[in-house]
Structure 1
């Protein structure tokens, strides 16, 4: 450096080549003025570790005068305790080594601050070490920033080590700049040995090749992730999810990327098991002939079986996410709207309706909408089912028709008739409307029993009177286990004038 050439004039043999003593004094004064103009403290120390030259900035930093420094040994100026800390650097410089280190300096005008000390060996014409040139640079702001960055890095390392997931950081040159301990365990190498190395030195070639495309997207500013099978240091091939987070600098440029590796082997297995169960459930549901559906809290379909899809004439994937009012005919939704509203309030609702089947046949359907309650008792969805009851309705109507015909037949028999079942909890009672005297009611209820010895249970509560001929009948066993009896009108009572009969049903 330029200062070295100027300071070489301090050497007496060298300076003698420039002229006599007067010229030497002039040159020394000139060097002093030039070095005093520098804001950087500078000093020259000879081979005996004595200060031979110091500039004004050096004296201001140390708070000493020129006589207190010039010609004195370093140990006298700095103090023995401080000298013991840094004398190794001085000896290294006097042995010909370029030395640089950082230390704190205290002065009367300023509290302790960080400086960088650089020692430059001064060699004579024959290569011998005659002394050293020392420069001092204020690096307090830089050092404090470094300390703060070191503290942040320490906190980051504590946090990332505690997370338990392998995490590392690389710059745009694809060199590793940070890695936590779990990453070292993951690849089976100390992270301290990997810092500064390119990724290709420790990342498998196929893994790095697959990652390359995602790295370009991360450098473009996107957060990306992908799944792959990797074999960590443990040797077991496992599914992992690799996520890359871009590191954006204040100017907006991406300076690197963080990589987080998450083991998802168990999640993949659970996912595959759930897929298998869902396939079994769908196979089961699709083979149920009746429509089945599930509505979420917002009344949107999240599950339908094939029968439901066939009924609304849409593929299943075109039904998911839609509401019943977007999928089903308007007349059906108008009928179901109040029923759905009741189910949303927590009520299990059943209904019957006439609907149109897939083949355009009008058929009776029985439906049920049941609320799905969460742990707090709130409705989080609705189960909806329907099944065909058309054949049952036809049988029910046929039975009602036959009963009406039988009732019409029995109502026109001139002899009162009744039947009571021994195997059922009901009986038929024939009411006989007769024009009786004022002592008898207009309608008389005649009890019937299945044995000739009389009743085996208490008489019906609805029995209002017994005819005097009740003892005269002879029971006859019917084909269905019922007792059938007839009463001639002539044997009933002398007061009976006209008899009409009507069939009614009551429980015993």
Structure 2
């Protein structure tokens, strides 16, 4: 954030304008009386405050734009839009002023109209024009600085400044005409100051807008114009200041004069009224008058007395009384002299009751005292004396005040309840009244203060709304008050007249001073221009770039070398921030931090130093430069500017870097070479040795330099080199190989010697020595030869075509199988393109795959060749790309296998699988394969017939998704057991497509050779018919085929179970043994068919007579038996027995239609927890049956035990 001391003039002015607008808004919002702080604050409205606040905020924003450069398009649109929006309100208020109608936009908030402010809250017309001019200039400054825009903006700012200056000057000189137009609202002082501040801020923005580059030949004109402006401003300020200095004293003296005049006049007026009242009272109390009225009261018809009274009345007119009248007690006029001026509409003021209760002050072309006094005799009213006295002295005193000034006036008023009633005056020709108090209950005018007994003098607006100096005094005990006032404008007329002559004199002196200043400045300006031109020429032709920077970090000077170095013209660079022009992005933060410190201290890392830094060209490339900066304090002393000289050191650094790189490269190369490298002079002294040479010979660099070759190599090695050294010193390059003892064995070395020549004379002045240790190379060569032979033997014997092609498709290697399989010897392939040695059809097949491999992809494909030996052959080829260290494809390795036999085998397997699938699809068995993940990988057609699911959709589906989670949970244990290697068989019921099937399912593990299980074979057979047959057989084994009741075997089984349950529950049970009475007779008489019908009906009646939990069974023939369980006692069994006898007794219908009567005999054994088991209870029931038969049949007998 910018410190306050660092704010520009524009922002200072905007800040002050915001403060004024804030005070107005504060007063409007909270209704605080701030009129004592700044005159006019209470009159300024919220609309003016809003416009000032918004305008100053826009100026603050615009002050941050780069100097001399147009703003960004977005910022310009924002400011122009804001200016247009702000201009709406002044235009609407001008429409209000012109039309006289209210648009409801004044926002007066309860303020009362006044003469100065007839429309509270509304902006005055001159303020509206000022705002419009400022907003227009703001919109212009948001665009490009062309000639028309500069002129229009200047005119708008000047017009607004003139309106504001006239307003401020009018308030200073008390010249209302300068700020109050007609009957409209007047321009308030806060608004005038705000307009002046905004105009000042916009003018500075206008200067910055046009940039800092100025033509040197215009210096004289600018100095002249600015000198004239400054001197004129000084003259005006001096005049206004003189007036402001004299005005308070003159005002004080004038107020004293007015007050003194008011006091003297008031005392004189009071004295005149006192004399008039005294005169009327004296006349009314004269004895002769009392005597006459007493006698006339006793004898009204006494003509002599009346005449005497008329004579007395007439004599009164010579004492200043203009009219007199005596009235009797009956109200009749007794005597009258003179002409009474008082009429019904004559303005009058009643005097105080405790002063002269029946007297009034009249106004009729002058002041008249009208009295009405009672005439009394010994306390009894005998008549009244009425008179009028023209107060000539009072008229003369008032006229003298009027003659003292054209605007001077005297107001005389009294108080009637809550109003002040006043007689006509010079400025108010008719009588009028004034409220004693304003809406807030305060005394609002000087006359009201006087009527309340106060006296003093004020500078205040009068009833016309014009500022006046008003002295106010009460007129003693009369109940009257007086105000003597004069317009302030008239009060200060004399001093303004003298000030006008002074202004003319100052203007003349200003013009003369400007002319003299121009005469003296012209040679200095020319000299300055010449010096600046010379400096500019020096800077423009300097070999270094020169850049000047202001305190904001913006460029103010940019020479030709800077333009050539960085690519920006002076016009483009000037006004731009240096950080955005030439500082690389990664260094801008550090640069801005350094500039912030430099602006305050003038110190920095680059100040008065030559520093190498990196800069950025317009096109984005980096430039190495040498920078030197000088600091200069600003004229205001609030910061430092910078002058930088920049030199391109790119070539110098490049040369130095190239040299250093060359030397380092030589060292790196020699150190990287796997050789001993040395450089020797003509005396065979070492001047350089690489790291390997130093290491091998155990020398340090400083000790090796200057050592002779013989000392360094030793006797044996030097002897090997000596002859070649002598030859190379003659200028002949030498190379040889030799062996020397090396690391405990024999080493092989390759030595090269190259003569070193003088660059100028080409004479040999030394030689270069390079020794390669080729011991490992020799060993590796031998090893490589053996490896290649071994690899060749392997590849030649592999049953595959193996080859290596380069990036262009030429054979680099081919094994012997090419000759064996294709009849192409490898020697004929090497170096040849594939298209040159292979047939066209084959090449067309493989080229797309070869191109993919050349692109870096490993490919596998199966081409087909023509018949060989009578049959077409199939191959599988694999192309593997070969990459270099940089990841680029340098060739392709190709491996080709003859897969004809494999394909034939695969076809046979496929055919066999098809046959097996055809068999499986036609078997009435559901066959499927489930893998280890419980997914179906095979199902036959029976799956679709039974399950309604297409096999293709089922394959790959998880078993859980196919058969549902519940059924899957039932099958899961069996599946896991089968996947564990166990054969699993189980029966299950299947419901699908509305058909219920009983399936016998077998899970067979799919074992590998290693014993692992990869899945299970599932075979499901439909055994529904078999299960149904088994069920029927079981039913025949357990039930009687004729009656459907359980047979003897089932009965015996159930009896055992029933006895066990009875023992566990401790409840009674009963066994009923029964047969058909005389059944043999039925068979013999009606036939066996009728007997079977009787048995069936008998069985049905027994079954229906017992509970569902009881068991009814047929033992044999006509013998039936019933097991009753869960009985409470024997009585409950007896009820069932009785029910059975009754059920059988009902007639039965034979097939022939004949009804017969059938009865039964029952023997019942009730078991209560004792006995020997099933045989025992059966025996007891049988014996009971015999007892029933012995009892005559159609009844029952029972045994309880």
TM-score per shorter chain, which class? Answer: 0.5 to 0.7
Contact conserved, 2:846 with 2:863, CA < 8 A, in 1? Answer: no
Aligned to 1:164: 799
Shift of 1:235: 6.8
Aligned to 2:827: 192
Aligned to 1:263: 898
Shift of 1:322: 3.4
Post-superposition Cα deviations, 1:286-342, rounded to whole Å, max 9, x if no partner, equal: 122332111233333222112224544443333333332132123322321222233
Contact conserved, 1:223 with 1:246, CA < 8 A, in 2? Answer: yes
C-alpha separation in 2, matches of 1:381 and 1:366: 19
C-alpha separation in 1, matches of 2:772 and 2:791: 25
Post-superposition Cα deviations, 1:254-274, rounded to whole Å, max 9, x if no partner, equal: 110111110111110111011
Aligned to 1:368: 1002
Name the SS of the counterpart of 2:850 in structure 1: helix
C-alpha separation in 1, matches of 2:770 and 2:1019: 84
Shift of 1:225: 1.1
Shift of 1:284: 1.1
Q: Does 1:175 align with 2:816?
A: no
Shift of 1:150: 4.8
Contact conserved, 2:748 with 2:773, CA < 8 A, in 1? Answer: no
Picking from 1018, 1023, 1043, the partner of 1:384 is 1018
Picking from 717, 720, 723, the partner of 1:63 is 720
1:93-492 alignment to 2 at 5 Å?
A: 104-106=737-739, 111-114=747-750, 150=785, 152-231=787-866, 236-357=871-992, 359-403=993-1037, 404-406=1039-1041
C-alpha separation in 2, matches of 1:232 and 1:115: 60
Aligned to 2:489: none
Q: Residues 250, 340 of structure 1: CA spacing in aligned structure 2 closer, same or farther, 3 A cutoff?
A: same
Contact conserved, 1:226 with 1:242, CA < 8 A, in 2? Answer: yes
Structure exhibiting the larger radius of gyration computed from Cα positions: 2
**Structure 1 residues 236-245 or 329-338, which shifts more?**
329-338
Contact conserved, 2:845 with 2:863, CA < 8 A, in 1? Answer: no
C-alpha separation in 1, matches of 2:960 and 2:724: 101
Q: Residues 335, 63 of structure 1: CA spacing in aligned structure 2 closer, same or farther, 3 A cutoff?
A: closer
Contact conserved, 2:925 with 2:1019, CA < 8 A, in 1? Answer: yes
Q: Residues 140, 216 of structure 1: CA spacing in aligned structure 2 closer, same or farther, 3 A cutoff?
A: farther
C-alpha separation in 2, matches of 1:168 and 1:103: 38
Shift of 1:186: 2.2
C-alpha separation in 2, matches of 1:280 and 1:319: 21
C-alpha separation in 2, matches of 1:361 and 1:394: 15
Aligned residues: 326
C-alpha separation in 1, matches of 2:987 and 2:773: 86
C-alpha separation in 2, matches of 1:390 and 1:67: 109
C-alpha separation in 2, matches of 1:115 and 1:159: 38
Name the SS of the counterpart of 2:1004 in structure 1: strand
C-alpha separation in 2, matches of 1:104 and 1:151: 24
Post-superposition Cα deviations, 1:90-122, rounded to whole Å, max 9, x if no partner, equal: xxxxxxxxxxxx9843469994334799xxxxx
**TM-score, with structure 2 as normaliser:** 0.24
Question: Which structure's residues are more often helix, by fraction?
Answer: 2
C-alpha separation in 2, matches of 1:231 and 1:116: 58
Q: Residues 61, 199 of structure 1: CA spacing in aligned structure 2 closer, same or farther, 3 A cutoff?
A: farther
Contact conserved, 2:991 with 2:997, CA < 8 A, in 1? Answer: yes
Post-superposition Cα deviations, 1:422-462, rounded to whole Å, max 9, x if no partner, equal: xxxxxxxx999xxxxxxxxxxxxxxxxxxxxxxxxxxxxxx
Post-superposition Cα deviations, 1:223-272, rounded to whole Å, max 9, x if no partner, equal: 11111222587675311111111111121111101111101111101110
C-alpha separation in 2, matches of 1:108 and 1:353: 92
Question: Which structure's residues are more often strand, by fraction?
Answer: 1
Contact conserved, 1:188 with 1:233, CA < 8 A, in 2? Answer: no
C-alpha separation in 1, matches of 2:892 and 2:1042: 90
Q: Residues 152, 498 of structure 1: CA spacing in aligned structure 2 closer, same or farther, 3 A cutoff?
A: same
Post-superposition Cα deviations, 1:3-29, rounded to whole Å, max 9, x if no partner, equal: xxxxxxxxxxxxxxxxxxxxxxxxxxx
Name the SS of the counterpart of 1:189 in structure 2: coil
C-alpha separation in 1, matches of 2:781 and 2:972: 69
C-alpha separation in 2, matches of 1:308 and 1:298: 20
Contact conserved, 1:176 with 1:194, CA < 8 A, in 2? Answer: yes
5+ residue gaps, structure 2 = 1-680, 689-708, 711-716, 728-734, 754-768, 1049-1074, 1081-1114, 1118-1181, 1186-1201
Q: Residues 235, 197 of structure 1: CA spacing in aligned structure 2 closer, same or farther, 3 A cutoff?
A: farther
**TM-score, with structure 1 as normaliser:** 0.53
C-alpha separation in 1, matches of 2:752 and 2:802: 34
Contact conserved, 1:62 with 1:107, CA < 8 A, in 2? Answer: no
Contact conserved, 1:368 with 1:386, CA < 8 A, in 2? Answer: yes
Shift of 1:183: 2.3
C-alpha separation in 2, matches of 1:64 and 1:168: 46
Q: Residues 379, 63 of structure 1: CA spacing in aligned structure 2 closer, same or farther, 3 A cutoff?
A: closer
Contact conserved, 1:116 with 1:138, CA < 8 A, in 2? Answer: yes
C-alpha separation in 2, matches of 1:318 and 1:159: 50
C-alpha separation in 2, matches of 1:313 and 1:297: 25
Shift of 1:343: 2.6
Name the SS of the counterpart of 2:856 in structure 1: coil
Contact conserved, 1:240 with 1:262, CA < 8 A, in 2? Answer: yes
Q: Residues 405, 377 of structure 1: CA spacing in aligned structure 2 closer, same or farther, 3 A cutoff?
A: farther
5+ residue gaps, structure 1 = 1-31, 40-55, 71-101, 118-135, 416-429, 433-496, 501-508
Contact conserved, 2:880 with 2:892, CA < 8 A, in 1? Answer: yes
